[in-house]
Structure 1
Amino acid sequence: MDRTLQRELYRRLDQSPERHALAYINNRGEFSWRTLEEVCRQAAGYSPRLKELGLGQGDVCILALPSNAFCATLLITTLLLGAVPLLVAPPILQLKGRYSNLTQVLRHMIRKTKPKIVIVPKAMMPMREELEGHQKRTHLLFEEEGLSPDLSAGIPQVTPAESDIAAMQLTSGTTGFPRVCVWQQRNVTAALDGIALAMDLNQEDICLNWTPLYHDMGLVNNFLLCLTKGIPLAMLNPIDFVNKPALWLRGLSDTASTMTWSPNFGFAITAEIVRDDQMEGVRLDRVRAFWNAAERIHLETIQAFYKRFAPFGLHRDSLKTNYGCAENIGGATFSDPHGPIVVEQVDDVVLQQKGMAQPIMRTDEGQRAVQVVGVGRPYPGIEIKILSRKGRPLPDGHVGELALKTPSRMSGYLGQTLETRRALFGDLLRTGDLGYMRGPELFWVGRLRERITTLGRKLDPSDFERVLLRIPNLRHGCFAVFGVDDAQLGTQRVVVVSEVRDSSTRPYRDIVNDIQSQISLQLGVKAYDIILLPKDTLTKTSSGKRRHRYFRQRYLSGELQSLRLSDQEKEENPPIQVQRSSEGL
């Protein structure tokens, strides 16, 4: 009998219909649990209308909605109908962004996937004609418009095959439009089985998630995993988390959650912003796993988070790491669910110049060391290989492209044969990520296409993040770093672009000097140009990734230089001083 998402869901529904399934935490921290039967019946209520509009088994349904209860319900409806969900970041998230491309991404996805139905927020009604013009046979719905649930509707029963498409997922799209990963049913169920084993998931667990459903961390590692494995899941809207990170920690305490997920920046801003008075009555003793994933993991961030919340019961060994990608359907490597993370200190110069991770126990005078955080071991069934540029396996400690032999890889990129051939290299999935192995542990160090080569050293943009995090008045995570070829120097010039907080009264020249000196001191390279920009300039991808290569193009065209903040401009137009609490960013 074929194993599919739908069959797993039906099995859970038969075995434990009254078990808690989902809770939605509002911006005041309030929530109530819904049973699996309640969740499925609510989702089934929307199925008659969607079927009437032609949505059936194998049809694509795009959900470009905020990650809230309505989006989660329609996602389940789509699955119950055997349709193929594709979650896309709603353009309303970046309406202020000068370089936002979310509207173009949505239009492109409508053309590319030819969906039967697209559901978007009501705020996008002025774009109705523009969006409807891209596919004549696509029905465009604005949230609840024409979607009144039929409470008498039964739960649809569908029987897709293991080889059928279960879902689609967008890649990061750091330079242009994201690619569409096609996920087959067999690969999704293999991923969920492997993730559950790696996390040592059990029926006593409760999960809380604030990451977006249009990101594979939110969709796979949280929503689909919990739904099919019978794990209660509390959901917090990502916007509410960003506005008030304390909601995350209070939610963990109030729901008695045992595990949660966040990218590194979430740990950083929570440790910095949350006040003691917001933690009154909060205990973190029960949480056995804070999974850190989706971007470069910095030891300094982990240490700061632990130091800040240890007084509230946070266990040091509850801080975990993970590596995954959309092409592999969720997480691929996981740190020990019952032990500490792995960290090693290596010679920074040897790492950057020779691509070798040479461990050092202590640093001699003049020697620069860097601490690299391990991202765990592959879950059962996955094998990892580190490849040279020629595709040959490299030994332990050598940096190369990370490749996976995995039962949970995508079947390909939709409509992109050449890109699929490049990624699916024989029985391997080539990820485009850089890393090295030390025994069974993987250490992630960057992206192949974003490497900066300057004076014989190879750096990743994420290497600069730990430096920029310590510079006062910069917005956390809102930066781009890239290399620009310089024929006279015979190497690349390092360019750093960062947003400045609105409330900053510090002279911009002082910030620039601080960035230059700290990069030189900590990384041993020179930043030839530093551009400070206003808030909401460096918009991210639909999956929240930084667009280093995209903004490199904007720099070379001269666009970023024209937006550069200057002290002269500040003197002529002093910022309005606004009283703000630390609840916002």
Structure 2
Amino acid sequence: MEPSLEPGIGAPALQRPGVTPARLMAVIGSLMRELHGGHAPAPALDDDLQQALGIDSLARMELMLRLEQSFGVRLPEAQVQAARTPRELLHILAAAPPADVVERAPSVADMPVAEPEVRALPRHARTLAEVLQWHADKAGARRHVLLLYGSRAAETLTHAELLAGARDMAGALQRLGPVRGEAVALMLPTSLEFLQAFMGILLAGGIPVPIYPPLGSARIEDHLRRQLHILSNAGAVLLISDRQALAAARLLRAGVPRLRAVLTPERLRAMGGRHEPVALSGADCALIQYTSGSTGQPKGVVLTHANLLANIRAMGQALQVGAGDLLVSWLPLYHDMGLIGAWLGCLYHGVPLILMPPQAFLGRPSRWLKAISDHRATLSAAPNFAYEVLATKVPDAELQGLDLRCWRAALNGAEPVQAATLERFAQRLRPFGFDARAMLPVYGLAECGVGLAFPPPGRGARIDGIDRLTLQCQGRAAPVAAGQPGALRVVGCGMPLPGHELRVVDGQGAEVADRREGRIEFRGPSATAGYFGNPAATGALFHDGWLDSGDLGYVADGELFLTSRVKDLIIRGGHNLHPYDLEAAVSALPGIRRGCVAVFGAPDPATGTERIVVVAETRAGEPEARAALRQRIARLSLDCLGLPADEIVLAGPHAVLKTSSGKIRRAACRDLYERGLLDQPQSAVAGQLARLWGEALLRRLRERGRRAAAALFGARAWAAFGIGAGLGALAALLPGRRRRKHLARALARAVLRAGGLPLRVRGAVPEGSGPWIFVSNHASYLDWLVLTAVLPAQACLVAKRELRRHLALGWVLARMGVRFVTRDDSRAGVEDTRQLARAARDGESLVFFPEGTLGRAPGLQPFHLGAFAVAAQSGLGVVPTSLTGTRSVLRDGSWWPRAGAVEVTLHEPLLADGQTWESLLRLRDAARERVAQGCREPLLSA
């Protein structure tokens, strides 16, 4: 079918003979017919490649390869990836050089050289900052990174340059305000600036939070909403972005009121500022790594310096990393595999890193292998899809001249590893020196840094053939011959890293036998302590000291075999169905967009089980073509799952949601399916951005309203405090302490009411004339006011003697009956205790804060013994008293009150069983337990 050209459109001024609109549209039309089942509409020169023709980044890579073969040229992939229409591709083709013109490789002088001598390692380093300082001191001039851009000139970075750049960034960040312990987001592409900014955040005491820049416009709204969730959850105070993403970064700032500023690396360098060293320890948070969100909203995995270094050291030991190693990586730095496994791993082990932006691989996949060959790299890693692309898509001409004999460890992880892909890759690359024994399928997750299980280097992949029906019905991995009908081929992921453990458990948490499928749990020094700002998810993560990976699998001969994500499992009629094989089979059908298939289970209330739903993207429009696709998908469902699909949804491009790393977001697809929104057409980019800006504006207005309300409340509270303080000073002039204290009690109640602080009292002062010894937790400077309002008027507060030295305040407090004690002089303290005991025997109730101090953080500190010695010596009962809410209303270090309710709990009195040391300790501990129960705060150790 001849492609349609819009009338009146003439050919551009071409520089290369044979480059015509008709030939170009023929190539595009052929690709579209393959993608969309042979019934794609005829493309036009000014159609949008992504929105109208459905050619995404992977399909664009295929299109570029075909155009180069058809026209005999070498295309600049950056321009091809940026092209919006076929007309722009036509101009790029016309100016392209012949195919025999290859890009200039970096000169040998630009390459880091793997030195043959055995290198020492920073084995005693406790933090990443110490690792960097160690290498800068020992070998500052050694090349750390060579950054390859493709046709652009390469850039290099030494350890000393990384440290200097990081210090410049840290000084500028500290100049903007304190960032110690606060999150700073990084939305930067792969660049030397990313590396320097990451380390700069650490040197400033901040916590890096990498997020990925917007890579396309089709689902810009969905992308930015996920980043808004991450920034809000992390409480990020600064965002570092490059110029290309500034518009998106400013929108994010508008939607996250806590963000103080959006900055570029250039602006940070221009600001300057002297770096003030910050003391860090291994227990400090070094990274909040957000999960991909393939099974829900991204969660922030908290990783300390100790976690990261333990993982890096264990992976280095498992891979037997040595002085002769060199690593090539195009993996994005905002994901753990590229950030921790590649860059930080190379930084620790002193291994030179050849770094490439992900776009360099997507633009020309063969460039990855060429970098390995040219630089004699020994290590490299990628997800399964990258190996599949090299095995099936790249033309033979681009592989000529490769020598991959140097590649000893080809790690494959981050997504399900397909046995067929491993075999196809090894067979395709064998003529170029690739040894199949170098293939290392690995397993890891963000909750364990990045790596958890590795096979031994040099062994090659282990593929286990098991019976599919036995696994589905009985949860048992029964071995069968690989070619037997119904056989499922599962790739082994190796053994736990040194110092780490894993186990497989059933639904009750009991460990199962070998070859029984169950949930994979792990523990070890790399394991996170939990998710940032998400206590519910953190609680669900831990089971009896083990962490739940969220994955299903089995162990055979000590090796882990992965079968499914727990949330991806479909439970149908007692069968446990894994979606991946069906997704791969449907994705390979002509007319279905490759990699754009989601299979999931949806609840079926009528049957009490789950329905099997298959969503596949296609542009096939004719009823006959769509009916044929449904029939083929139905047959594949029977072949792969043994059961028919209940519903097959043929959707348009971009209906299947994915993470930034290309993983299918099945939970999100299920949610859209259940709400009837799965195949809703995407609004224009302008409409998506306008909606986000409107929501950000409303959020800002609400935040400003909240701040204004908080300011008004604080002003109201301080006005009440001020008036109350003035009246209290006047009350101190009255004769008779009894009269003064009754008036102080009434004033305290009036001040709380006028200040808008509701007060609730649980329990009551014990019956009887008293007196009593009241012991209370100390959470805020507001505590004395609350207790004055609640406790009997004759009760006297016990305060530190330092307050007596203030002329006006000390006089007022003394007139109100406050008793003062010495804290630092043991002899004076003993005498104070005796005087307080005499006052108690004379009928005076006393109020103690036995913690002796207060702090910002929740938690009940150890109690001093003074109050309990007074109780024992005077023979009085101790009334444990719990305060709740005062810490939130007026926190230590802040003088601006916040709205909140205050609660006082008066517990049943306790009596000392003697005056011995042991009896005092028993009384103290019993009182502290009661106070802790009432204030609902944890007991802290000394």
Alignment of 1:90-109 (within 5 A): 90=213, 92-97=214-219, 101-109=222-230
Does structure 1 residue 113 correspond to structure 2 residue 113? no
Residue 463 to residue 31, structure 1, CA distance change in 2 (3 Å): same
Residues 333-348 of structure 1 correspond to what in structure 2 (within 5 A)? 333-348=453-468
Flag the structure with larger Rg: 2
Q: Which amino acid aligns with 1:14?
A: D
Q: Distance in 2 between matches of 1:156 and 1:372?
A: 52
Instruction: Work out the CA distance in 2 between the residues paired with 1:543 and 1:409.
Output: 22
Q: Does 1:12 align with 2:135?
A: yes
Corresponding residue SS for 1:407 = coil
- SS state of the match for residue 410, structure 1? coil
The Cα shift of 1:302 comes to: 0.8
Report the more deviating stretch, 388-397 or 236-245. Answer: 236-245
Deviation for aligned residue 1:285: 1.3
Q: 2:489 aligns with which of 371, 374, 381?
A: 371
Match of 2:183 in 1: 60
CA apart distance, 1:228: 1.5
- 1:413 paired to 2:531: yes
Aligned to 2:508: 390
Which amino acid in the other structure matches residue 393 of structure 1? E
- Cα distance change on mapping 1:486 and 1:137 into 2, 3 Å: closer
State the partner residue of 1:321.
441
Match of 1:520 among 638, 642, 650: 638
Residue 543 of structure 1, CA deviation:
4.8
One-letter code of the match for 1:467? A
2:402 matched to 1:282?
A: yes
- Match among 148, 168, 174 for residue 45 of structure 1: 168
User: Of residues 459, 464, 483 in structure 1, which corresponds to 2:577?
Assistant: 459
CA deviation string 1:191-247 (max 9, x = no partner)? 111111111111211111111111111111111111111111111111221222112
Length, aligned pairs only: 559
2:149 to 26, 33, 36: 26
**Displacement of 1:101:** 2.4
Residue 81 of structure 1 pairs with residue 208 of structure 2: no
**In 2 relative to 1, CA 129–93 (structure 1 residues): closer, same or farther, beyond 3 Å?**
closer
Cross-structure match for 1:182:
302
1:216 aligns with 2:351: no
Q: How does 1:484-523 map to 2 (within 5 A)?
A: 484-486=602-604, 491-500=609-618, 507-523=625-641
After superposition, give the CA deviation of every residue in 1:333-354 in whole Å (9 maximum; x if it has no partner): 0011121221111111001111
Query: Is this contact kept in 1: 2:230–2:298, CA < 8 A?
Result: no
**Counterpart of 1:546 in 2: which secondary structure?**
coil
Distance 2:498 2:144 in 1: 27
How far the C-alpha of 1:163 sits from its partner, in A, is 1.2
Relative to its length, the structure with more strand (as a share) is 1
SS at match of 1:260: strand
| Structure 2 CA distance for partners of 1:196 and 1:101, relative to 1, 3 Å | same
For structure 2, the 5+ residue unaligned runs are 1-123, 683-942
Q: Residue 158 and residue 15 in structure 1: after superposition, are their counterparts in 2 closer, same or farther (change >3 A)?
A: farther
**Aligned 8 A contact 2:481 2:487 in 1:** no
Question: Matches of 2:621 and 2:442 in 1, distance apart?
Answer: 35
Indicate yes or no: 2:394 matched with 1:252: no
SS at 1:266 equivalent: helix
- What code does the residue aligned with 1:262 have? A
Contact 1:54 1:116 survives alignment (8 Å): no
Confirm or deny: 8 A CA contact 1:452 1:492 kept in the other structure.
yes
After the TM superposition, which of the residue ranges 433-442 and 452-461 deviates more from structure 2? 452-461
Instruction: State the SS of the aligned residue for 2:215.
Output: helix
Deviation at 1:544, TM superposition (A): 3.8
- Residue 443 in structure 1 maps to residue 566 in structure 2: no
Match of 1:173 in 2: 293
Q: For the residues of structure 1 that align with 2:399 and 2:153, how far apart are their CA atoms?
A: 15
Shift of 1:533: 3.1
User: How far apart are the structure 2 equivalents of 1:240 and 1:461?
Assistant: 31
User: Quick one: distance in 2 between partners of 1:136 and 1:529?
Assistant: 43
Note if contact 1:171-1:543 (Cα within 8 Å) is conserved in structure 2. Answer: no
Q: Deviations over 1:43-72 (max 9, x none)?
A: 333333222112544332100222333323
1:327-386, Cα deviation, whole Å (9 max, x unpaired): 11110000111212211111110011111101124766xx51111100111011111111
What amino acid is the match of 2:224? Answer: T
Kindly provide the amino acid, as one letter, of the partner of residue 185 in structure 2: I
Conserved in 1, the CA contact under 8 Å of 2:162 and 2:195? no
Indicate if the aligned counterparts of 1:45 and 1:149 stay in contact, CA closer than 8 A. Answer: no
Alpha-carbon offset, residue 259 of structure 1: 1.1
By relative contact order (CA 8 Å, sep 6+), the higher-ranking structure is: 1
- Please give the per-residue CA displacement for 1:442-466, whole angstroms capped at 9, x wherever unaligned: 0011111221123432122223243
Mapped contact 1:172–1:544 kept (Cα < 8 A):
no
Q: Does 1:122 align with 2:243?
A: yes
Matches within 5 A, 1:347-362: 347-361=467-481
- How many Å separate the matches in 2 of 1:169 and 1:426? 24
Cα distance 1:147–1:306, how it changes in 2: closer, same or farther (>3 A)?
same
Report the CA distance between 1:562 and its aligned residue: 5.1
Q: Write the distance in 2 (CA, Å) between the matches of 1:269 and 1:30.
A: 26
Per-residue CA deviations over 1:454-501 (Å, capped at 9, x if unaligned) read 343212222324323532343332221112234556643322112348
**1:102-156 per-position Cα deviation (integer Å, ceiling 9, x unaligned):** 21122222222222311234344445664334555533325345233589x8887
Q: Per-residue CA shift, 1:515-567, capped at 9, x if unaligned?
A: 33233234322223333333333231245431111101111222225569xxx
Report the CA distance shift for 1:388/1:21 in structure 2 as closer, same or farther (over 3 A): same
Structure 2 counterpart SS, 1:536: coil
2:129–2:203 contact (8 Å) kept in structure 1: yes
Distance 1:133 1:267 in 2: 40
Q: What is the SS of the residue equivalent to 1:323?
A: coil
Q: Structure 1 stretch 29-38 or stretch 413-422: which is displaced more?
A: 29-38
Query: Contact conserved, 1:265 with 1:477, CA < 8 A, in 2?
Result: no
Query: Quick one: structure 1 residues 227 and 128, their matched pair in 2 at CA, closer, same or farther if it must change by over 3 Å?
Result: closer
TM-score (normalised: structure 1): 0.89
Q: 1:271-301 CA deviation, whole Å, 9 max, x = no partner?
A: 2221122223222111111111011111011
In structure 1, list runs of 5 or more residues that go unmatched.
Answer: 565-585
8 Å CA contact retained: 1:480, 1:498? yes
TM-score by length of 2: 0.56
Which stretch shows the higher mean deviation, 234-243 or 511-520? 511-520
**Aligned residue number for residue 242 of structure 1:** 362
Is the contact made by 1:388 and 1:394 (CA closer than 8 Å) also made in structure 2?
Answer: yes
* Larger mean Cα displacement after TM superposition, 459-468 or 374-383: 459-468
- Partner SS, residue 430 of structure 1: strand
The separation in 2 between residues aligned to 1:137 and 1:26, in whole angstroms, is: 35
Q: What corresponds to 1:568 in structure 2? A: none
Cα displacement (A) at 1:175: 4.9
User: How large is the Cα RMSD of the aligned pairs?
Assistant: 2.7
Q: Distance in 1 between matches of 2:275 and 2:263?
A: 24
Which is helix-richer, 1 or 2? 2
Letter in 2 for 1:300: A
Match of 2:906 in 1: none
Q: Is 1:63–1:120's contact at 8 Å kept on the other side of the alignment?
A: yes
Matching of residue 273 in structure 1 with residue 393 in structure 2? yes
